[in-house]
Structures are given as C-alpha cells and as structure tokens.
Homo-oligomer: A and B are copies of this chain.
C-alpha cells in the first residue's frame, strides 16, 4: 500500500489524480489496482479527463441532488458532503496490465472534494 496526499483548494472540487497514480505504480506488477480515500466527505471516481466541463456538470448535478442547505440533523455543516460521498463511493478498482492501469482512452481518476479545502490521503494498493 502506497499513500499519496492531495491538497484541495475549494469547498467543492474535482482533482485529476491520474498522473500521480500512474507514477506511483510505475514498474510494478499486479492484476488490479485499488484507489481508496480514508475520509467520509470526499470520493474517488473515474470519468472523462479530456473536457473539464464534464466534471463541472457532474459536480453541479450532485449539488442539485444534494443541496448544501437543508434541515439536516448532522450539525457540522457538511451533511451534504457525506451524502455525496455515498453516491460516488470512496474507492475505485481498475484492471492492471503492462505495469499501468488499463484505463480507457477518455478515463481519468479523480478525487472528488466535497468539504474542502483540505489535505486528503489516497491509498494505492496493487494486487
């Protein structure tokens, strides 16, 4: 298990971490690559890393589905971030071959910050 740190700069932000992950596993071997964040108010997802508008639309859709202001019972002001984390999940698993994750042409791996800015840990495991 390797660990990388990701510093986010806004409350809500998608951070492309594909390059950091590819660097971390370079020259290694395995069959599947697991990317995990040990936090409860952010997520890890895979989607398009070509047009940044895709991630904008995804973040905006999550905001619409899970409004920030609502009479939540959790009183820390970040209940929306916990709910979004459930919808995205906190990990992804990617097939691994030829010393790299077998991502599709348009796929990138993103840390989804829902309650930043913070420094987030990401655990990378190759099996």
Contacts and interface: CB of A to CB of B under 8 A. Distances in A.
Interface of A: 1, 31-32, 34, 36-40, 45-48, 51, 53-54, 56-58, 60-62, 65-66, 72-76, 79, 82-83, 85-95, 97, 102-107, 121, 123, 125-127
A103 B88 CA distance: 17
A22 to B, nearest CB: 15
B1 A95 contact: yes
A60 B87 CA distance: 13
Contact of A73 (B48, B56, B92, B126): B56
Contacts of A31: 1, 125-127
A89 B111 CA distance: 14
A91 B62 CA distance: 20
Nearest to A89: B89
